[in-house]
């Protein structure tokens, strides 16, 4: 059971006049990705087959991710009554499949799996913080505030579990950094682009390049330097490096520059 439910959201305060239309496609896409949380939770329970305590935490984590999807989908339906979450989610699941049929992590170890999960939670906690701060509509701001707090708690769960398993598996800093950078690079794969497509496009064929550019252009524009600095510090901590030294400042500057490039990326295609 999570720390909040959909009934805690003040839906009656929804203000259509304050909806930013640029955020609606991003919220729709996020609702699909979050709703896939149950499948990830089942996979984690297989990877940690003999760890009952972590399995219970993973089950609760999956429920919370699914609830994030439900809250975002409900807000998207208020902002755009034509949004049909069930159809969009079916389209997303039909077109984007992850092979979860393994009992071992594809990161090579349980601690590696936890570091990869930390990267995802760093991404989501910073994203929902940025989205909530950009949202002028009060219900979306409230949903994002609650989700961002959950994502931060998820990061702590996976970080703590990683530390527990690191004492047995002895994954060095470079190996951890490789896992972290590999997971960040995977963010470029189909998942977010396909979610953006499935949530916002119903007739045109999938064009990954176009969907990816549309998604990242919208998402990158939400970030401010303090979001990036915090995400970099959390990343360095997860891989066992000093979170607030010279490396942190350099990595934050590089990440901020990369985000600015993405936010300004010209679209050579028509908007979805």
* Binding-site ranges for Fe ion (CB under 5 A): 34, 65, 68, 121, 151, 154
Supply the Cα-derived Rg of the chain in whole angstroms. 18
Give the shortest CB-68-to-Fe ion separation in angstroms: 4
Of the two residues 66 and 236, which places its CB atom closer to Fe ion in the complex? Answer: 66
Neighbour-count burial of 49, counting CB atoms closer than 10 A to its CB (0-12 exposed, 13-18 middle, 19+ buried) = exposed
Of the two residues 38 and 220, which places its CB atom closer to Fe ion in the complex? Answer: 38
Query: CA 91 to CA 97: how far, in whole Å?
Result: 11
Of the two residues 3 and 202, which places its CB atom closer to Fe ion in the complex? Answer: 3
Query: CA 16 to CA 2: how far, in whole Å?
Result: 28
Of the two residues 68 and 183, which places its CB atom closer to Fe ion in the complex? Answer: 68
Give the shortest CB-13-to-Fe ion separation in angstroms: 22
Listed residue (148, 143, 133) closest to 74, CA to CA: 143
Give the shortest CB-151-to-Fe ion separation in angstroms: 4
What CA–CA distances, in Å, run from 249 to 177, 222, 244? Answer: 17, 20, 7
Give the shortest CB-265-to-Fe ion separation in angstroms: 26
């Amino acid at each position: 059971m999570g720390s909040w439910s959909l009934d805690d959201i003040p839906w009656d305060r929804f203000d259509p006049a304050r909806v930013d239309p640029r955020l609606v496609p991003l919220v729709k896409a996020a609702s699909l990705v979050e709703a896939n949380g149950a499948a990830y939770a089942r996979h984690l329970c297989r990877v940690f087959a003999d760890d009952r305590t972590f399995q219970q935490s993973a089950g609760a984590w999956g429920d919370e991710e699914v609830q994030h999807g439900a809250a975002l989908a409900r807000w998207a339906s208020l902002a755009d009554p034509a949004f049909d979450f069930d159809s969009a989610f079916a389209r997303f699941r039909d077109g984007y499949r992850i092979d979860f049929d393994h009992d071992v992590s594809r990161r090579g170890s349980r601690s590696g799996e936890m570091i990869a999960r930390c990267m995802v939670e760093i991404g989501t906690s910073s994203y929902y913080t940025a989205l909530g701060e950009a949202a002028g509509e009060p219900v979306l701001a409230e949903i994002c505030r609650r989700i961002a707090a959950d994502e931060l708690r998820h990061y702590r769960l996976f970080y703590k579990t990683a530390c527990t398993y690191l004492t047995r598996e002895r994954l060095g800093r470079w190996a951890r950094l490789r896992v972290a950078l590999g997971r960040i690079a995977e963010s470029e794969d189909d998942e977010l682009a396909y979610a953006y497509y499935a949530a916002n496009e119903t007739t045109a064929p999938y064009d990954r390049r176009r969907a990816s550019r549309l998604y990242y252009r919208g998402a990158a524009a939400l970030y401010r330097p303090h979001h990036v600095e915090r995400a970099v510090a959390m990343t360095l901590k997860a891989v066992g490096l000093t979170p607030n030294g010279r490396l942190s400042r350099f990595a934050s500057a590089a990440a901020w520059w990369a985000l600015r490039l993405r936010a300004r990326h010209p679209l050579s295609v028509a908007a979805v």
